[in-house]
Amino acid sequence: MSEDRSDLIKKYALRNAVKFDGEATVGAVMGKVMGESEECREDPEGTKELVNDTIEEVNALSLEEQKEELEDLMPEFFEEDEEEEEERLPRLDADEVKMRMAPYPSGPLHIGNARMVILNDEYVKRNDGELVLFYDDTIGSETKQLLPDAYDMIKEGLEWLDVEWHETHYKSERMETYYEYGKKILEMGEAYVCECDQKTLQEKRRDGKECEHRDRPKEKNLELWEMMLEGEISEGEAVVRLKTDMDHPDPAFRDRVLFRISEKEHPRVGNEYTVWPLLEFSWAIDDHLLGMTHILRGKDLVIEDRMEEYIWDLFGWEKPEFLHYGMLRLENVNLSKSEFQQKVKNDEFKGWDDPRTWSMQSLKRRGIQPEAIRDFILEFGMSETDIEVPPSKLYAKNRELIDSEANRYFFIPDPVGIELVGDLEMEKAKISRHPSDPDRGYRELDTKKTVFIPRKEWNQHQNEEVRLKNFCNIQLEGKEGKITGYENKDILKIQWLSDGIDVQLEYPDMSVKEGIGENNLDETKKGDIIQFERIGFVKIEKSDTFYAVYGHR
């Protein structure tokens, strides 16, 4: 056994162990060394034995000892890691770090929300700080309504992503605090109660014209404020506006609304409150009172930064630091929660774990690993450039994690039976459970004169020679397959089965393909992630009637 192969395996075993808190895994290391070394591929049994021995030796070391040995063998690992992480997540120049994530509970977290929560979590973990989960549950719009179940679904998603938080707050439980500071800002003469209708308000703001109510006495504003709180003024009849510069170049910044009336029932506090703060006011108050040091948000919300700063200046408060990132979109993926709400409500979607929602619940159903989502998000770091990437980028991250662990099986969608013509030279075909892990053994498939192949291949390869994988070569003619030999020729290889079990496979568009899977699927269980050869990775949802959910190729 060569020194080169031993060093290669030792290097990858140490790298895998250091990356995953001291525990290297056989599958991950085998995948790396088999992909890189022809010598390893030529002797899979010997390579597997050496990998097992090396991992046992490496895992017996402490994490610090592993790092020391890896630095000797592969010093560039630490240099690259530090440089990449520094570039992606710039260090925070602060002795203390306290940040908050603020999901709006109109549905569960989806892949678009993952960037906000993971970046907050990573910054806090790297700086030994504190993270606050703050449900941003003020009354929303008609199209983006609060859902009672969303609170728990968000929490489930965070826990699945391994996001750790230290405090939990709800805006709906802090209304009296907002009222206290709303009154103060009215007493300061920096805000007023506006009774203009929405159209008039928008027109005057656009034209830079002051509202007729802007200069009314403080006493009158406070009187109207109390009437709003007492329910004596109805929805749409009055709002509280901040006195900003009516000549500001951005019309949206001119006398922005701080409070408005909504008579909708709230899922947590019912009809106890009807006067609700807008986001920038509530955040200006909470970020100060709860001691936030850094506020991370999308660059499209810069106006909220300016509003918070304006209010902090009025009260003479110290300002936290803002951090911004650009939009991250997936190509051809719709992430509208308001649209999803309607489709779930109308039974167009089968629930919030429907793959089309791209929720954490749906990604978990498909076998996407939380570590893959974290790696995918962190790869883009804090870039303020808007990015659109194909979902295959996420799938590639997931494949790195599951490929080495997922056993292989045959599944024949929409099967067509053909009769083999010629002599059968084997009773059973032997196929490895995993091509790079011989220790997992082999599956055996019965070989009979009648075999089933996918209808797609049957249609596309008439009058061609194809190979029934690990079995024989045939000339496909109608519903006959003339055996032409058993050697492994360089021709198309297709799946086949002589018998099997009924399988249903759900795809991300919620279509379901039916077919037969090999009898060896009986050794699997619910929750397993496997690979249907030539089809992709799937997660088993029901093992009794064998229902699986497609992940990706």
In tens, the pLDDT along 94-125 reads 899 999 999 999 999 999 999 999 999 999 99
Sheet holding 167-170, edge to edge: 98-101, 130-135, 167-170
Residue 239: φ, ψ to 5° = -140, 165
Is the dihedral angle over the CA atoms 518, 520, 521, 527 positive or is it negative? negative
Beta strands in 196-331 (DSSP E): 239-242, 257-261, 275-277, 294-298, 321-325, 328-330
Among 190, 345, 178, CA closest to 260: 178
Task: Give 409-553's CATH code, choosing from 2.60.120.480, 1.10.3720.10, 2.40.240.10, 3.30.450.70.
Answer: 2.40.240.10
**Taking a C-beta distance cutoff of 8 angstroms, is the pair 162, 131 a contact?**
no
- Residues 82/335, Cβ–Cβ less than 8 Å: no
Rounded to whole angstroms, the Cα distance separating 420 from 479 reads 9
Each residue of 343-354: b (16+ CB within 10 Å) or e?
Answer: ebeeeebeebbb
SS (H, E, C) 432-473: ECCCCCHHHCEEEEECCCEEEEEHHHHHHCCCCEEEECCCEE
Rounded Cα distance, 189 and 354, in Å: 51
Report the distance separating Cα 324 and Cα 16, nearest Å. 32
* pLDDT tens readout for residues 493-513: 999 999 999 999 999 999 999
Give the three-state DSSP class for 54. Answer: helix
Q: What is the model's pTM?
A: 0.84
Residues 467-481: pLDDT tens digits?
Answer: 999 999 999 999 999
Lowest-confidence pick of 231-235, 458-462, 476-480, 541-545: 541-545
Span 232-272, pLDDT tens digits: 999 999 999 999 999 999 998 999 999 999 999 999 999 99
Domain ranges of the chain: 3-88, 409-553
